[in-house]
Amino acid sequence: MGENLTRKILRAHLAKPSEMKPGDEIYIKVDQTITHDINAVMTYLAFEAIGLPRIGVESAVSYLDHNLLYIDFKTPDDHIYLQSAAKKFGVHVSRPGNGICHTVQLARFAAPGKLLMGGDSHTPSCGAAGMLAIGVGGMDIATAMTGVPMRLTMPKVVKVYLTGKLNPGVNAKEVVLEMLRRETIKGGLGKVYEYVGPGALALSVPERMTITNMGAEMGATTSVFPADETVRTFMRAQKREDEFFTLLPDEDAEYDEEMTLDLSALKPLIACPHQPDNVVPVDTVEKKAVQQVFIGSCTNASYADCAKAALVLRGHHVHEDVSCTMGISSKQIYKSLLRDGYLEMLIDAGVRVLELACGPCCAIGQTPPTNGVAVRTSNRNFRGRAGNPNANIYLVSPETAAATAIKGTFATAEEILGDDLGILADIREPEFYDVDDSMIIKPLPAEEAAKVEIKKGPNIQFLPVPEELQQNLKVPVSLKGGDNISTDDITPASAEFSSMRSNIPLMSKYCYMRYDSEFSERARKMGRSIIIGGENYGQGSSREHAAINPMYLGVKCVIAKSIARIHKGNLINHGIIPMLFEKAEDYEKIELGDELEIRNLPEQIPTREITISDNTKGFTFRARLECTDNELEVVLAGGQLRFLKKQLKEMGVETA
Ligand code: MIC
Ligand code: SF4
C-alpha cells in the first residue's frame, strides 16, 4: 500500500523513532516558524532566556499584524521589542500594514513539503500549499527556533475525498462549515484532514486556505492539500515557481479514516452562536436584524473573496442599520483589488475599509452593540470573541456577508443577484499578484546582529517561570467550568487585553474575567489551587497566556473531561499538570472550594494514573495523564524552559 501525503512529509522530517504509529510520540525537524505580535513577546523572552545567539531554523518570521491600534504606549513598545529581538536573532519581520501572518506566509514563504510551526492556532492555513503547518504555543516556538526536533503526537490521517464543484454563491467556507457540522468542534482531535479528489483539484490555493485554516476549529492537528498544478499556478502568480515541486499522496495511499464530500451539493451555510459547529443552511435560520457585518480575517479575505463581495454589493448600498467593515488580508491583495476596481465598488456601496490587520476578528475594534447581531467571515463565534459577551456572532462566506449587509438580515448572494449569480463564477485569482516584499525586513548577517541591542519598554515584564513540582498538594478548587471553555474565556482578546500580554502581573488580574469575574482574586488568595473543566477545555486560540496567567495565580493542575491539543501543550510547558477524569461522574461531585489532595506527585506522575482525594466531600477518584514520555519529563522538570535548558546542556549546546 502507498503512503499518504501527511506521512510523506512527516517521514521526511522525522528525527526519531523510525516508526510513526498514531498516538505515539514522534520528533520532527522544523523548517519554518512564525509568531505574531500579540503573543510573541513571551516567545522571544523565552528565546532570550534559553540563551542562544541565533535561530537554528531555515526561516522564522515575526509578524506585526494583530494589534495595530496602538491605544497607548504598550503595543508600540511591544513592536519595537519584537523588531529588535528579530534583528538580534536572525528573524524576518513582516511590518504592520503588510498583512495577516497566515496570508503573507502562504504567499511569500510556503512551499511544498515544508514543515512549519506557528505560534497561532490557524497556522494550518499554509497546508493549502502542500506542506504541513502546525499551530502550537509560544514556548514551543521558542523551542522550535533553537532547531531541536519537536515532539508531536503522531496523528491519524483522514482522507477527505472531494467531488463535484462549488456552485456560484457557494464558497470554500461552506466546505469547512459542512466539515464542522459533521465532525464537530472536537472531532478533529489527534487527526490530520488530507483533502484529495477531483473536487480538491478544482479549488484555488486561497480557497484551500479557507478550509485548512478552519480545520483548527475542529481541533485538528492540521489539514493539508496536495502540491499539485493548482499550487504551481499559485506559486507562479507569486513569482516563486522555482520553489515548487509536485508532491502528492500515492495513488493507493492508505488512510486511517475516510470520508467523502460533494461540493456540488453544498448550499450557503451559517454557523450560529456560540460555537463554529452550530451550522445550518442560511435559508433556514430565523431572520434577525443585523447591526454589523465584517468581511475579512485570515479565513476569508482573499482577492476572489473580496471581489465577489464587491460584485454582490455593486449598485446596492449597505443597509442603513448596518455597519459593514472589510479587513483585507494583505497589502498584495489590497493593491490588486484597487487595480481591478473592486475597492471602488465596495467604497461606493458604503463599506468601511479597515487597516490590513486581524483587528475585529480578535476584538481589536468593531465590537458589536448591546445584544447585537454580528455577521462575520472569520472563524470563531465564541461568546465574547468580538469583545461583547452579550452579542451574537454568526459565521458566513463573503458572498453571504455582502448580501446580509444589503438586506440588514441574513441573506444569500442569490437573493441579490438572482439570474446574474453566475458572474461570481467568473472571478479568478490574479494571474500575477503584485509582488513587493519591501515590507519584510530581512535578517541581519550574524556579525552585525550580535551588536544589536534589544529594546524593552516599561510594559515588557519578566517571563514567569513555574515553581518546581511539589511532593504533595492539598489545595482548593479555584474554578469549576463547563464544557468547551475557550482560551478566549480564560484570557479575553481586545486591543486593551492584547496590549497587556507582555505584563503578566497586570494581565493575570483579568484572567477568566468574562467567565467568572472573581476567579483571579480568589485564586490569588488561595495561593495554590486546581481548576476543574468539562469537555474540550482550552479550545480555540493558541494563546499561551491562558496557561501562563493561571500558573502565575498559583494553579497547579487542570482536571477536565478532555483538553484541546494546543492548550494541553501550553499547560505542560508552563508547569500546570493536565489531567483527565477517569470517570466523568466524578466531575459532577466536585464543587468550587473543595479541598483536593494529591500525594507523592513525583512518584504518581510516571504511572500516568493519579489518585486524588476530595477531602471536603470525602471521596477518592482517579485521573489519567495522557502524556507522551517527553511530556512527562517536562511535567517532572517543572515546565519546558527548565527542561529545554537541561536538554541543550546534555547536547553540548552553549547557552548563556
Ligand atoms: C485568534 O485567532 O484567536 C488569535 C488571536 O490569532 C490567536 C492567537 C493569540 O491569541 O495569541 C490564535 O488563533 O492562536
Ligand atoms: Fe488574526 Fe483572526 Fe486569523 Fe487569528 S483568526 S490570525 S486573529 S485574522
**DSSP characters for 162-177?**
EES-PPTT--HHHHHH
Q: Within a 10 A sphere around the Cβ of 616, how many other Cβ atoms? A: 14
Q: What is the pLDDT of residue 656?
A: 66
Which one of the ligands is nearest to 63 CA? 2
Q: Ligand 1, atom 3: nearest CA belongs to which residue?
A: 541
Which one of the ligands is nearest to 354 CA? 2
The alpha carbon of 137 and the centre of ligand 2 are apart by a number of angstroms equal to 15
**What percentage of the chain carries pLDDT values higher than 70?**
100
Q: What is the pLDDT of residue 653?
A: 76
Ligand 1 neighbourhood includes 67 CB (under 6 angstroms): no
Q: At residue 330, does pLDDT exceed 80?
A: yes
Strands 156-163 vs 150-153: parallel, antiparallel or unpaired: unpaired
What one-letter code names the amino acid at 75?
A: T
Q: Which helix (H) or strand (E) holds 6?
A: helix 5-12
Q: What is the pLDDT of residue 509?
A: 97
pLDDT in tens, 338-354: 999 999 999 999 999 99
What is the average per-residue pLDDT within 512-524?
Answer: 97
Ligand 1 neighbourhood includes 566 CB (under 6 angstroms): no
The alpha carbon of 106 and the centre of ligand 2 are apart by a number of angstroms equal to 14
**What percentage of the chain carries pLDDT values higher than 90?**
97
Ligand 1 atom with the smallest distance to the CA of 216 is 13
What is the average per-residue pLDDT within 134-151?
Answer: 97
256 exposed, middle or buried (CB, 10 Å; 0-12, 13-18, 19+)? middle
Average pLDDT of the chain, as a whole number: 97
Which one of the ligands is nearest to 539 CA? 1
The reply to whether the predicted model has a pTM over 0.95 is yes
The answer to whether 558 and 612 have CB atoms below 8 angstroms apart is: no
C-alpha cell at 301: 479575505
Closest Cα to residue 363, out of 337, 332, 387? 387
Q: What is the pLDDT of residue 466?
A: 94
Ligand 2 neighbourhood includes 376 CB (under 6 angstroms): no
The alpha carbon of 594 and the centre of ligand 2 are apart by a number of angstroms equal to 38
Q: Within a 10 A sphere around the Cβ of 548, how many other Cβ atoms? A: 29
Structure confidence at residue 650 as a pLDDT band (50, 70, 90): confident
**162-173 in b/e burial notation, b at 16+ Cβ within 10 A?**
beeebbbbbbbb
The alpha carbon of 590 and the centre of ligand 1 are apart by a number of angstroms equal to 31
Q: At residue 139, does pLDDT exceed 70?
A: yes
Ligand 1 neighbourhood includes 120 CB (under 6 angstroms): yes
Structure confidence at residue 90 as a pLDDT band (50, 70, 90): very high
First to last CA, the chain: 49
pLDDT in tens, 454-482: 999 999 998 999 999 999 999 999 999 99
Q: Ligand 1, atom 7: nearest CA belongs to which residue?
A: 541
pLDDT in tens, 2-43: 999 999 999 999 999 999 999 999 999 999 999 999 999 999
Ligand 1 neighbourhood includes 125 CB (under 6 angstroms): no
Closest Cα to residue 359, out of 96, 43, 74? 96
Q: Among 122, 300, 377, 494, say which to mutate for ligand 1: greatest number of ligand atoms within 8 Å of CB.
A: 122
All structural domains of the chain? 5-265 (3.30.499.10), 269-423 (3.30.499.10), 473-650 (3.20.19.10)
pLDDT in tens, 422-460: 999 999 999 999 999 999 999 999 999 999 999 999 999
The alpha carbon of 358 and the centre of ligand 2 are apart by a number of angstroms equal to 5
pLDDT in tens, 535-589: 999 999 999 999 999 999 999 999 999 999 999 999 999 999 999 999 999 999 9
Which one of the ligands is nearest to 489 CA? 1
The answer to whether 173 and 261 have CB atoms below 8 angstroms apart is: no
Give CA torsion, residues 461, 463, 464, 466, to 10 deg.
180
The alpha carbon of 360 and the centre of ligand 2 are apart by a number of angstroms equal to 9
Q: Among 43, 44, 120, 297, say which to mutate for ligand 1: greatest number of ligand atoms within 8 Å of CB.
A: 120
The alpha carbon of 635 and the centre of ligand 2 are apart by a number of angstroms equal to 30
CA distance 396 to 386: 15
Ligand 1 neighbourhood includes 38 CB (under 6 angstroms): yes
Transcribe 531-563 into DSSP letters: EE--TTBTBS---THHHHHHHHTTEEEEEES-B
The alpha carbon of 119 and the centre of ligand 1 are apart by a number of angstroms equal to 8
Structure confidence at residue 652 as a pLDDT band (50, 70, 90): confident
Q: Among 69, 355, 362, say which to mutate for ligand 2: greatest number of ligand atoms within 8 Å of CB.
A: 362
The alpha carbon of 271 and the centre of ligand 1 are apart by a number of angstroms equal to 19
Q: At residue 654, does pLDDT exceed 80?
A: no
| Residue listed under C-alpha cell 482525594 | 613
Ligand 2 neighbourhood includes 217 CB (under 6 angstroms): no
Residue 66 DSSP one-character state: S
Ligand 1 neighbourhood includes 411 CB (under 6 angstroms): no
Q: Which helix (H) or strand (E) holds 94?
A: strand 92-94
Q: Within a 10 A sphere around the Cβ of 594, how many other Cβ atoms? A: 17
| Residue listed under C-alpha cell 498514531 | 22
Which one of the ligands is nearest to 106 CA? 2
Q: Among 379, 498, 539, say which to mutate for ligand 2: greatest number of ligand atoms within 8 Å of CB.
A: 379
Q: Among 297, 376, 488, 539, say which to mutate for ligand 2: greatest number of ligand atoms within 8 Å of CB.
A: 297
- β partners of residue 16: 27
Ligand 2 atom with the smallest distance to the CA of 102 is 6
At residue 11, the 3 state secondary structure works out as helix
The answer to whether 188 and 220 have CB atoms below 8 angstroms apart is: yes
For the ranges 407-411, 490-494, 650-654, the one whose mean pLDDT is highest: 407-411
